[in-house]
Amino acid sequence: MEKKKCVCIGVSGGIAVYKALDVISALRKNDIDVRVIMTSSATEFVTPLSFQSLSQNMVITDMFSEPKAWEIQHISLAKKADLFLVVPATANIIGKVANGIADDMLSTTIMATKSKVIFAPAMNTNMYENPIVQDNIRKLSKYGYDFIEPASGRLACGDLGKGKLADVNTIVERVLKELNINEKEKDLLGKKVLISAGPTIAPIDPVRFITNRSTGKMGYAIAEEAKKRGAEVILVSGPTKLQKPSGVKVIDVKTNEEMKAEILKHFYDSDIVIKSAAVADYKAKDYSNEKIKKGNEDLNLVLTRDNDILKFLGDEKKNQILVGFAAESNNVEENAKNKLIKKNLDYIVANDITSTETGFGSDDNKVIIISKSGEKIFLDRMSKREVASNIFQTILGKR
Ligand code: CTP
């Protein structure tokens, strides 16, 4: 399972502090865990609260913390962060690090980390060109610290020259590159994807229930793939033994009714809805509050129809892209196509459940993706994660 990348942003004091907010919001959109350390002079320009709101994490400042508290905090953050970005980096913080000075939270943490540290300097042009600053930059570069060159232009003080903080996009691209995050692969950024997975259960009495052989693997693979592509993912899951995908909101349900209720809470503002759950079509007509005792006669259990959730969603849908699954044991294509029409779907993913190597419980699947317009994509046997990727490629018109 992919772990979220963590970037520690060190903010030192300068007029460009507010631009660090834009850097943070771009990193957050790429699902990066952002931690912020502000020097006390940085807090004179922008309040820690602004950084806290955007990063959605507590901001560390030197203002109120006891030196003792640093000892622990700086070591844990120094270890946790995959990358340090100092933006804007003043002559002061560059000078401190270059000379081994660790006298506040930011300089101490930088000193303690083994992760890559990138400085994005911003300062008056005369300061930037000062041979001492240039010497410090050279020295740090020699030790493996990186710099994002400032731009030239009119500076806040009115002077013309080099010293303006580099463009926010340049800084963000540099961070993403360092973390091996390819923004082009995040093609579901800003989209909300709702997925159902696993079986549902229909209780008969307090100890017995009817269910099916679904393990949830297909739906969980779809959720992981959607997350990787940058979507906000809601996974409504029937009982499974699977580990919850990280960064995905998982809502556990048991019955058809619970699944329908939870799905409806998220359906209307979702962009893509994929129903891979094997929902029970029938439930016991009369649920027994007491455990049913055995007798000598046959026991007739009367089942009654339960909700067809997908059909309901098809009738309700506005702009959502609705994708269903079809578990078939014969006439796979034809039955799936009929379901697609009957349930007003945009796509249906059909699989032949009679195959022992694919389908229920297997890590692989062999499916046909059929679109509303009648286009059919026949996929060979492949991992469920690859099937998930193919589903999104199809929806996004990337095939
Ligand atoms: N589905 C649903 N609610 C149900 C039954 C199915 O939402 N009560 C959804 C499934 O999640 C799947 C699709 O409908 O995306 C097709 O499920 P499937 O079991 O193949 O078909 P059914 O509609 O139940 O038809 P049948 O069992 O007759 O093949």
Tell me what pLDDT residue 66 has.
Answer: 59
What are the pLDDT digits (tens) for 322-339? 999 998 989 999 999 999
Ligand 1 near 310 CB (within 6 A): yes
Range name among 74-88, 201-215, 281-295 with the lowest pLDDT average:
74-88
**Cα torsion at 277, 283, 289, 292 (round to 10°)?**
-110
Is the pLDDT reported for residue 64 higher than 60? no
Tell me what pLDDT residue 49 has.
Answer: 96
Q: Find tokens 């300097």 and name the residue.
A: 121
Cis link prior to 121 (omega < 30° from 0)?
A: no
pLDDT (mean) for 71-85? 85
- Catalytic center residues: 157
In ligand 1, the atom with minimum distance to the C-alpha of 335 is 29
Tell me what pLDDT residue 186 has.
Answer: 87
In whole angstroms, how far apart are CA 349 and each of 261, 313, 382?
Answer: 24, 17, 14
In ligand 1, the atom with minimum distance to the C-alpha of 310 is 7
Could you tell which of 212, 264, 273, 275 is best to mutate to test the pocket of ligand 1, judged by most ligand atoms within 8 Å of the CB?
275
Range name among 179-193, 277-291, 367-381 with the lowest pLDDT average:
179-193
Ligand 1 near 32 CB (within 6 A): no
Ligand 1 near 325 CB (within 6 A): yes
What are the pLDDT digits (tens) for 349-393? 999 888 877 767 788 999 999 999 999 999 999 999 999 999 999
Tell me what pLDDT residue 36 has.
Answer: 97
Ligand 1 near 326 CB (within 6 A): yes
Tell me what pLDDT residue 358 has.
Answer: 74
pLDDT (mean) for 233-254? 96
pLDDT band at 71 (very low <50, low <70, confident <90, very high): low
> How many Å apart are CA 365 and CA 386, to the nearest integer?
9
Report the mean per-residue pLDDT for the chain.
Answer: 93
C-beta of residue 43 within 8 angstroms of C-beta of residue 59: no
Q: Closest Cα to atom 24, ligand 1: which residue? A: 281
C-beta of residue 197 within 8 angstroms of C-beta of residue 276: yes
Ligand 1 near 173 CB (within 6 A): no
Rounded to the nearest angstrom, the distance between the alpha carbon of 70 and the centre of ligand 1 is: 56
Q: Closest Cα to atom 12, ligand 1: which residue? A: 325
Is the pLDDT reported for residue 67 higher than 60? no
Tell me what pLDDT residue 65 has.
Answer: 60
Range name among 70-79, 107-116, 124-133, 305-314 with the lowest pLDDT average:
70-79
Tell me what pLDDT residue 30 has.
Answer: 85
pLDDT (mean) for 119-136? 97
Over its C-alpha atoms, the chain yields an Rg (Å, rounded) of 28
Q: How many residues does the chain have?
A: 399
pTM of the model: 0.71
C-beta of residue 312 within 8 angstroms of C-beta of residue 322: no
Q: Which residue has better confidence, 203 or 62?
A: 203
Interacting residues of 205 by C-beta distance below 8 A, sequence separation 6+:
287, 288, 289, 290, 291, 292
Tell me what pLDDT residue 155 has.
Answer: 77
pLDDT band at 301 (very low <50, low <70, confident <90, very high): very high
Range name among 54-58, 89-93, 279-283 with the lowest pLDDT average:
54-58
Could you tell which of 304, 310, 368 is best to mutate to test the pocket of ligand 1, judged by most ligand atoms within 8 Å of the CB?
310
Ligand 1 near 84 CB (within 6 A): no
Q: Which residue has better confidence, 173 or 76?
A: 173
Q: Closest Cα to atom 3, ligand 1: which residue? A: 308
Tell me what pLDDT residue 138 has.
Answer: 98
What are the pLDDT digits (tens) for 144-167? 999 999 999 887 778 888 999 999
pLDDT (mean) for 64-91? 81
pLDDT band at 188 (very low <50, low <70, confident <90, very high): very high
> How many Å apart are CA 324 and CA 385, to the nearest integer?
17
Interacting residues of 392 by C-beta distance below 8 A, sequence separation 6+:
187, 188, 225, 226, 229, 398
pLDDT band at 69 (very low <50, low <70, confident <90, very high): low
> How many Å apart are CA 249 and CA 262, to the nearest integer?
12
pLDDT (mean) for 231-259? 96
Tell me what pLDDT residue 68 has.
Answer: 57
pLDDT (mean) for 61-71? 61
